[in-house]
Every structure is written in structure tokens, then in C-alpha cells.
């Protein structure tokens, strides 16, 4: 018979239990860690379910917001605002009761102050057979004659102008085949900035078959854009800065230089003079 001795002090009291064989023991720190992880996963899934459920319901609501019935006029209901736009009003045109024939223009530009001034004379014939012509004469720091034919009775002269300063006190009918006492007198002038038209209304109508001359003064700044009457600069072969003036009237930039009928289809003859310092050329 073999006898064995045991040192009870070396035995872990936890391992010596009378618990059943199928019972497992887990440390408290591990248990709470697993429980917290399961709870966090549950909360995350709940939040995702609510989020996607609400958005899906909103998408279905928007896709079915249009209601169409067949027994009544079509009814459309929507939560979105519908913007409506209206087209711009048409640009006014110069009436065809006066037809231009000739412009006699004298300009006097000032390249130091970069301004120019002018005056205008307009001559026209009014006829019944539409065979005569309508004429204006303009002057930049001088005079301009505009010869035109009046084809229908009117007391109004309509011209294009943009960025010009007209001297209303100078606007007058200075010539006619009638006696001087019957010359129309300027009553009023108005400007339509949208259509760029100036309307000159006179005290009496122009009479058919009669010749008239309209005179006016005006001034404007010389442009730095590449249209109208504009300034350009360059350096010559000696390294000197030079300034010159040029013009670009097409397609509708003549109105920035002098009052006129500035429509490509309304042709006319031009006589242009330029007053300048002798050293410019």
C-alpha cells in the first residue's frame, strides 16, 4: 500500500469546488465588456433602421406628390415652388414715317480731356409718294445735318442715341420751304433708355412735300471700349507714347457718337468733317 501526502497550501481554493461539471465561470470584467458590446450593436442597428426608414418614406411621398385625374382638369400638387419667367418687352424701333437720306457731320474731339461735342442740323422732305428722302446733319463740336423724308404726317422725330448729352435749347427747325412763321417748335423731348431712343415732339406736324432742317448740339465722352468713337494708344519707333482716335460704328454703335437712325437696314449717305489740331497728322 502506497501512501501519498498533499500540501493543501498549494491548492487553489477556486479549483476545488463541488459545482457540476457543465457550469462555466467568467470573470466579471469580461462579462461586462461583452454585454456593453451587444448593447452598442443593438443601439446602432436601431438608429440605422429609423434613419433609412424615414428617408425611404420621404422619397415615396415626393414621388407620389403629383395627382392626375382623368374626369377633371389635370390637378398637380407639389410642395416645390415653381418659378415662372416672363420674356423681356420688345425693343422699340424707329418709325418708318421718316426716312433718312444724308448725314452731314462735323466732329471736334478733344484728346486731352477725351471728350467731344457737336451740333446737329436735320433736313427732311415730306411727300405722299415716298420718293423723297429724310436727312439729318450732325456735328461733333461743330454741326450735323440730317436730311430725311417724312412719309406720313407726324409731329415727332425719333432717333437712336446712347450716352450722349443733348442740348435741348439748341434743338430747332431752322429751315423749311414754308414761311418762317410756320416752322414747328420743339415742345418736349423724352428718352427711352431700354430702346435707346430719343423722341422729339414739335408744336405742329410736318407738312407733306415740305423740306425741313433740324439742328441740335450734343456732346459725349470718347469711349475706351472698342466701339463707337474711342481712344487707342501705342508706342512709336522712338519709344514715345502716342494717342489716336478711331471709330467702330457697326452694327449698332453709331448711336454712341451722334443721334441717328441706327438700324443696319436704314441706309444713308454721310459727309464727315473732323476739326483737329494740326500736329495730330
Instruction: State pLDDT tens for residues 66-77.
Output: 555 555 555 555
Distance CA 189, CA 118 (A): 18
Every domain of the chain and the residues it spans: 27-69, 98-280
pLDDT at 213: 79
Structure confidence by residue, pLDDT tens digits, 121-153? 555 544 444 444 444 333 345 466 676 677 788
Length of the chain: 281
Q: Which of 103, 259, 135 is nearest to 206 (CA)?
A: 135
> Domain 98-280 is in which class?
mainly beta
* Contact (CB, 8 A) for 98 and 151: yes
Comparison of pLDDT for 43 and 125, the residue scoring more = 43
pLDDT at 253: 92
For the ranges 52-66, 80-94, 108-122, 260-274, the lowest mean pLDDT is seen at 52-66
**What does the mean pLDDT of the chain come to?**
73
Average pLDDT (164-190) is 82
pLDDT at 226: 87
pLDDT at 233: 82
Q: Which of 213, 131, 210 is nearest to 177 (CA)?
A: 210
H-helix segments, the chain = 28-63
Distance CA 102, CA 122 (A): 9
pTM value > 0.95: no
Average pLDDT (18-42) is 72
Quote the Cα angle for 230-103-262, to 5°.
60
Structure confidence by residue, pLDDT tens digits, 191-226? 999 999 999 999 988 877 777 778 888 888 887 788
Using DSSP, state whether 179 is helix, strand or coil: coil
Structure-block grid coordinates of residue 9: 497550501
Amino acid at each position: 500500500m502506497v501512501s501519498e501526502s498533499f500540501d493543501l497550501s498549494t491548492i487553489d481554493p477556486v479549483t476545488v469546488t463541488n459545482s457540476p461539471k457543465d457550469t462555466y465561470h467568467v470573470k466579471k470584467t469580461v462579462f461586462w465588456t461583452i454585454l456593453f458590446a451587444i448593447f452598442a450593436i443593438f443601439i446602432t442597428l436601431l438608429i440605422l433602421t429609423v434613419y433609412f426608414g424615414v428617408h425611404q418614406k420621404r422619397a415615396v411621398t415626393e414621388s407620389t406628390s403629383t395627382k392626375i385625374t382623368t374626369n377633371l382638369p389635370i390637378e398637380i400638387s407639389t410642395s416645390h415652388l415653381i418659378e415662372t419667367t416672363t420674356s423681356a418687352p420688345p425693343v422699340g424701333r424707329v418709325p418708318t414715317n421718316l426716312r433718312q437720306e444724308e448725314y452731314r457731320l462735323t466732329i471736334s474731339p478733344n484728346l486731352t480731356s477725351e471728350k467731344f461735342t457737336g451740333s446737329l442740323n436735320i433736313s427732311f422732305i415730306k411727300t405722299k409718294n415716298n420718293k423723297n428722302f429724310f436727312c439729318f446733319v450732325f456735328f461733333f463740336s461743330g454741326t450735323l445735318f440730317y436730311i430725311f423724308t417724312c412719309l406720313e404726317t407726324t409731329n415727332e422725330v425719333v432717333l437712336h442715341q446712347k450716352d450722349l448729352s443733348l442740348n435741348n435749347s439748341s434743338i430747332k427747325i431752322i429751315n423749311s420751304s414754308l414761311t418762317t412763321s410756320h416752322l414747328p417748335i420743339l415742345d418736349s423731348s423724352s428718352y427711352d433708355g431700354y430702346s435707346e431712343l430719343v423722341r422729339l415732339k414739335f408744336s405742329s406736324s410736318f407738312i407733306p412735300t415740305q423740306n425741313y432742317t433740324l439742328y441740335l448740339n450734343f456732346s459725349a465722352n470718347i469711349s475706351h471700349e472698342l466701339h463707337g468713337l474711342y481712344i487707342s494708344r501705342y508706342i512709336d519707333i522712338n519709344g514715345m507714347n502716342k494717342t489716336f482716335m478711331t471709330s467702330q460704328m457697326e452694327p449698332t454703335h453709331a448711336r454712341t457718337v451722334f443721334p441717328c437712325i441706327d438700324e443696319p437696314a436704314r441706309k444713308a449717305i454721310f459727309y464727315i468733317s473732323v476739326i483737329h489740331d494740326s500736329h495730330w497728322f
